Structure 1
Amino acid sequence: MNDKWWQSAVVYQVYPRSFADSDGDGIGDLRGIIQHLDYLKTLGVDVVWLSPIYASPHDDNGYDISDYRAIDPLFGTFADFDELLDGLHARGMKLVMDLVVNHTSDEHPWFIESASSTDNPKRDWYWWRPARDGKQPGEHGAEPNNWGSAFSGPAWQLDPQTGEYYLHLFSRKQPDLNWENPEVRAAVYDMMNWWLDRGVDGFRMDVINFISKVTDLPDGEIPAGGLYGNGYPYFGQGPRIHEFLHEMHQRVFTGRGDRYLTVGEMPGVDIEQARRFTDPQNAELDMVFQFEHVDLDHGPGGKWDYRPVSVLDLKGNLSKWQEGLAGLGWNSLYWNNHDQPRVVSRFGDDGEHRVASAKALGTVLHLMRGTPYVYQGEELGMTNVPFASIDDFRDIETLNHYAEAVDIQGEPAEDVLVALRRTSRDNARTPVQWTGGPNAGFTAGTPWITVNPNAAEINAEAEVGDPGSVFAHYRALIELRHRSRVVATGDYEPALSEHPQIFAYTRSLGDESLLVLANLTGDDAQFDPRELPGWADSEVVLANLGTGSAASGRLRPWEAVVLARR
């Protein structure tokens, strides 16, 4: 594979609603981002991925789009957007937009037309079906199939005007587009080209592996204790997905050069599928977001059913993907995003060892083969939030699950709250902690969601100038990727594979090699240096607890050391 610019790049995700508020309305906006561009430049990132800023009713915080070619006034204007884009480009950074085209808002003009009558020209732009045979619309069990929505409840909503149901894999206000219709695809590609012509540098594609459905929409298997059928086998990597993505590449990116980045969010994708999606010969996507490592702590009941994860589980899965995509595909490396709880609380230690564990987790992720993604606040070691009650949550998935679990299934409210505090997407959505002052410096008004009370101790103002901070360590990791081709494109080989505490691997390219050692537990970890021959006289290029004692075969709790051999 020829080197691509994004192999040595680092992407930073901005969730605009929670990044920085410039006008005091309590909601982050484009001008708030503009005010912190020098912060991003100081961190050293190459690309900003911007979560949706399009016009939206905000049923799912902007992932329900009502106009793809309008900026929501909540976030600002096109003048603000152009200033942001120009500011990033002037600082040598690129801008990647969030592309949400599995579904729209039910307030999008396309859907309003589609819902207006059964013979409207846009009726077939969405998935409409009558009630099941023998059932009346609205009757229990009349939905066209038994699929469940990702946000609880059935995946079908009855439209009383036409007496038919429409499919929504997510919120009822997020009807699924029918990609079988070539007019839908043409409209999407036209919109994408419009944004690229404005100067954006690519797209992160939301649940893009859901766009092709098995057209007869069969019932799914109902899991034990479940209420609805699992439709995933019929819409995850559907029958025409590769055709659609190749067509998108041809219609949008062919002939534009190689400055663009495309990454597909793909829940449930496996290694063989990811290899096909990211094989350059297939001209589909540059990389995918896979979910296996962030699903490891999900029990049989799904994301709200917690099960502990061992270091062996974690490193085994990440190494499997490193080896599986070697030489053909490409990995997206991430711990956090707007849909995941904070990694330092999830796989680290957000108490005594917060700083060390944040650095250790960052180290093992950033030095693997792939493109690292930093989610806002991750570089500060931000943690999960001690939400006091259900009233503190804002996320539709969280609120719907609470209502279903407590009101329908009869689970104790406090037990459900324990799961929400651990796993809710709102953990990632509290404001970035800029200062230790009021509202963490996020807003002069009342924030739309609570600020984590630990902002007095964890904030950018305290960390940017501190050489021992999580921020400084992330900056060093990014610098190392930029200056060393072995990090960007070298071979990956796991080491100490059976060690229950230590995540270790080597990266090699030509005469240059790196050894990464990280103790991902709160106890001392011993290992035999003879299992790592040839590293006795190597140079320490990065460490989170000083030069340490790795040469003697001991790593302190959450200690990470990177050694170089030339």
Structure 2
Amino acid sequence: MKENIKWWQKAVVYQIYPRSFQDSNGDGIGDLQGIRQHLDYIQKLGADVIWLNPVYVSPNLDNGYDIADYEAINHEFGDMQAFDNLLTEAHDRGIKIIMDLVVNHSSDQHPWFIESRSSKDNPKRDFYIWRDAVDGHEPNNWGSFFSGPAWKLDTATNQYYLHLFATGQPDLNWENKTLRDAIYKMMNWWVDKGIDGFRMDVISLISKPDNLPDGPIPVGGTYGDANSIVANGPRVHQYLTEMRQQVLNNSDLMTVGETAGVDIENAKRYSALDASELNMIFQFEHMELDNNPNPALGKWNDQPVDLIKLKANLSKWQTELAGKAWNSLYWNNHDQPRIVSRFGDDSPEFRVVSAKMLATLLHCMQGTPYIYQGEEIGMTNATNYHLEDYNDIEIKNAYDYLVIKEQLIDAQTFLKYVHAKGRDNARTPMQWSANDYAGFSTVQPWLKLNNNYAEINVETALADPDSIFYHYQKLIQLRHELPIFTTGEYLLLDSDDAEVYAYKRLTKDEELLVICNFTKEGQIRLYPIPDAAELLLSNYLDDQHELLRPFEAKIYRFKKI
């Protein structure tokens, strides 16, 4: 790629889920002041950017992703002054803040929807997607991402509205230019406040296809697959180009789109290096490799990922976007289980080395890395949860649909799958110390704590120079200091090796060799490493060369011969 590097290409992002980060006022809910209290911690880690999950006014049906007021702060988190203080203090430390933008849908309590549903001739009726019944049923066969139908009958006007997510999250109608202009005005309001960019929630879904055709019904399923019909719709690139012209060109912003159902060709358009739309995207293919073989069960599964498939997928994105578009690099976020429990080994024996291995694998690739709160200390999935402990609407709806209604699996199997894949695994409160309530709060938190916080916490990590935290810190330093991490070509080695993931990063002058053992067994591998090679970083204290110990990860740097 060209040497015209943008700031966000060298940046590392730290994602904060405010509700679970730090409670500063003793109500059991994290807040903006709590984030301010830990800015020095984020600075110590070395992150350049904070991605803030939604902090807007919301009834919290989907924990803030159902927004009732885009220009006001949820009182649980503080107020606009608290936000302004956070932004100022972050900037004082050289840390940027990007906001979560949720404009595929709003809350059903947003004033726009309240007006829209009041009558068929209301000026805001067309801000949302309304349709008549077809043969006494929903307008089409689409299923919601949160289980059940994607349509809700509103008795006031006897029409259905579309909700690809929860019933309280009606989809906005991007065909309406007045709506789009209102969204751009709101975005510019935030840009004028001084924020540094946007993470755009399910942005690939904003353009619905004409006539809203039925979707294919998965084997064993009841409803049509809406994602295959809606994702990357006919005018999505037109809308994002318009957004670029109306908002994104007004400041030096960082933009990342969450793009469900994206393919390589669309990704090249969304995140082209010419910045005609967005800077980068989140794709989900590598996060869907361990889905259930039964399509009717979707993501609900507890089987390990196939390393050969993982290699092939990550390598596809590395090579196909190279020089054309930009990657986002992530293992964790608020919608994904903890990676050390998922792709690593969270046992006491191997948790630390496997977490470091996974970090090494990801952060040496080309793209902008994202670290989700707690990832840097190796937080794990919460296996101390029972079904009644979960808060997540996706889990609750899936239980009602898969276990109660369709009886596709029993409750015990479902709980096992939720322990492996449930979103609340990421949302358990941040584990700051071994003190009461993990140092997150002085009272019982809004969501049950993971019961291993006495052993796994920030205080312990900072006191141990060999901790996962300091491994992440070193990886971030390397990305900041060595251009090859940003500009180097990616080359996969031994694509059929089912135990070890090895690849190179190449420039005209030097090479990086990254070796990661994905197993808890020792492996022997011979890679051509010059005698003058420098071992940049490892998760073991010595180098035994061709012997790879359990979950060992090594980065070698050497000049090209």
Q: TM-score per shorter chain, which class?
A: over 0.9
State the SS of the aligned residue for 1:213: coil
TM-score normalised to structure 2 length = 0.97
Question: Among 207, 223, 231, which residue is 2:226 paired with?
Answer: 231
Question: Among 531, 535, 552, which residue is 1:559 paired with?
Answer: 552
Residue 309 of structure 2 is matched in structure 1 by 313
* Deviation digits for residues 147-178 of structure 1 (CA, Å, limit 9, x no counterpart): 00000110001111111110000000000000
Matched, 1:296 2:298: no
Residue 332 of structure 1 is matched in structure 2 by 328
Residue 349 of structure 1 is matched in structure 2 by 345
Q: Distance in 1 between matches of 2:530 and 2:166?
A: 53
Residue 516 of structure 1 is matched in structure 2 by 514
CA contact (8 A) 1:440 1:455 kept: yes
Residue 98 of structure 2 is matched in structure 1 by 96
State the SS of the aligned residue for 1:320: helix
Q: Distance in 2 between matches of 1:379 and 1:305?
A: 25
* Deviation digits for residues 459-508 of structure 1 (CA, Å, limit 9, x no counterpart): 00011132110001000000000000001221111123322211111112
Instruction: Give the drift of 1:388.
Output: 3.5
Instruction: Give the drift of 1:440.
Output: 0.5
Trace 1:384-463 onto structure 2 (pairs within 5 A). 384-410=381-407, 411-463=409-461
TM-score normalised to structure 1 length = 0.96
* Deviation digits for residues 366-406 of structure 1 (CA, Å, limit 9, x no counterpart): 01000000000000000000144211100000011011122
CA contact (8 A) 2:304 2:343 kept: no
CA contact (8 A) 1:286 1:330 kept: yes
Instruction: Give the drift of 1:305.
Output: 3.5
Instruction: Give the drift of 1:268.
Output: 1.4
Q: Distance in 2 between matches of 1:439 and 1:558?
A: 31
Instruction: Give the drift of 1:282.
Output: 6.0
Q: Distance in 2 between matches of 1:537 and 1:475?
A: 25
Instruction: Give the drift of 1:50.
Output: 0.1
Residue 30 of structure 2 is matched in structure 1 by 28
Q: Distance in 2 between matches of 1:511 and 1:88?
A: 37
Instruction: Give the drift of 1:234.
Output: 2.5
Residue 169 of structure 1 is matched in structure 2 by 164
Residue 84 of structure 1 is matched in structure 2 by 86
Q: Distance in 1 between matches of 2:530 and 2:367?
A: 24
CA contact (8 A) 1:387 1:393 kept: no
Trace 1:22-61 onto structure 2 (pairs within 5 A). 22-61=24-63
* Deviation digits for residues 502-536 of structure 1 (CA, Å, limit 9, x no counterpart): 1111112232321111101111111123xx3x534
Instruction: Give the drift of 1:331.
Output: 0.4
State the SS of the aligned residue for 1:433: coil
Residue 132 of structure 2 is matched in structure 1 by 130
Question: Among 277, 285, 294, which residue is 1:284 paired with?
Answer: 277
Of stretches 338-347 and 444-453 in structure 1, the one that deviates more from structure 2 is 444-453
Residue 75 of structure 2 is matched in structure 1 by 73
Q: Distance in 2 between matches of 1:125 and 1:205?
A: 19
State the SS of the aligned residue for 2:512: strand
Q: Distance in 2 between matches of 1:194 and 1:85?
A: 15
Counterpart residue identity of residue 204, structure 1: R
CA contact (8 A) 1:540 1:547 kept: no
Q: Distance in 2 between matches of 1:253 and 1:537?
A: 46
* Deviation digits for residues 277-313 of structure 1 (CA, Å, limit 9, x no counterpart): 1113361010000000010000233101444322212
CA contact (8 A) 2:101 2:200 kept: yes
State the SS of the aligned residue for 2:247: helix
Instruction: Give the drift of 1:255.
Output: 4.3
Instruction: Give the drift of 1:223.
Output: 1.1
Of stretches 494-503 and 395-404 in structure 1, the one that deviates more from structure 2 is 494-503
Matched, 1:273 2:270: no
CA contact (8 A) 1:487 1:507 kept: yes
Question: Among 195, 210, 213, which residue is 1:200 paired with?
Answer: 195
Residue 145 of structure 1 is matched in structure 2 by 140
Q: Distance in 1 between matches of 2:319 and 2:530?
A: 23
Q: Which runs of 5+ in 2 are unaligned?
A: none
Q: Distance in 2 between matches of 1:466 and 1:508?
A: 33
Instruction: Give the drift of 1:267.
Output: 1.2
CA contact (8 A) 1:246 1:282 kept: no
* Deviation digits for residues 409-463 of structure 1 (CA, Å, limit 9, x no counterpart): 2232111111111110000000010001111100001101111111000000011
Aligned length: 552
CA contact (8 A) 2:279 2:326 kept: yes
Q: Distance in 1 between matches of 2:530 and 2:62?
A: 50
* Deviation digits for residues 30-82 of structure 1 (CA, Å, limit 9, x no counterpart): 00000000000000000000000000000000000000000010100111101
Trace 1:2-21 onto structure 2 (pairs within 5 A). 2-21=4-23
CA contact (8 A) 2:289 2:306 kept: no
Q: Distance in 2 between matches of 1:292 and 1:306?
A: 17
Counterpart residue identity of residue 86, structure 1: T
CA contact (8 A) 1:7 1:489 kept: no
Question: Among 157, 174, 179, which residue is 1:179 paired with?
Answer: 174
Instruction: Give the drift of 1:344.
Output: 0.2
State the SS of the aligned residue for 1:454: coil
Runs of 4+ in 1 over 4 A off after TM superposition: none
User: 1:171–1:230: structure 2 CA closer, same or farther, 3 Å change rule?
Assistant: same
CA contact (8 A) 2:301 2:420 kept: no
Counterpart residue identity of residue 110, structure 2: H
Of stretches 65-74 and 463-472 in structure 1, the one that deviates more from structure 2 is 463-472
Q: CA RMSD in A?
A: 1.1
Residue 205 of structure 2 is matched in structure 1 by 210
CA contact (8 A) 1:544 1:559 kept: yes
State the SS of the aligned residue for 2:463: coil
CA contact (8 A) 1:19 1:431 kept: yes
Percent of matched pairs sharing the same residue: 55
Matched, 1:382 2:375: no
State the SS of the aligned residue for 1:373: strand
User: 1:497–1:233: structure 2 CA closer, same or farther, 3 Å change rule?
Assistant: closer
Instruction: Give the drift of 1:230.
Output: 1.1
Q: Distance in 1 between matches of 2:494 and 2:67?
A: 47
Residue 139 of structure 1 is matched in structure 2 by none
CA contact (8 A) 1:393 1:426 kept: yes
CA contact (8 A) 2:62 2:393 kept: yes
Residue 548 of structure 1 is matched in structure 2 by 543
Instruction: Give the drift of 1:314.
Output: 1.5
CA contact (8 A) 1:157 1:166 kept: yes
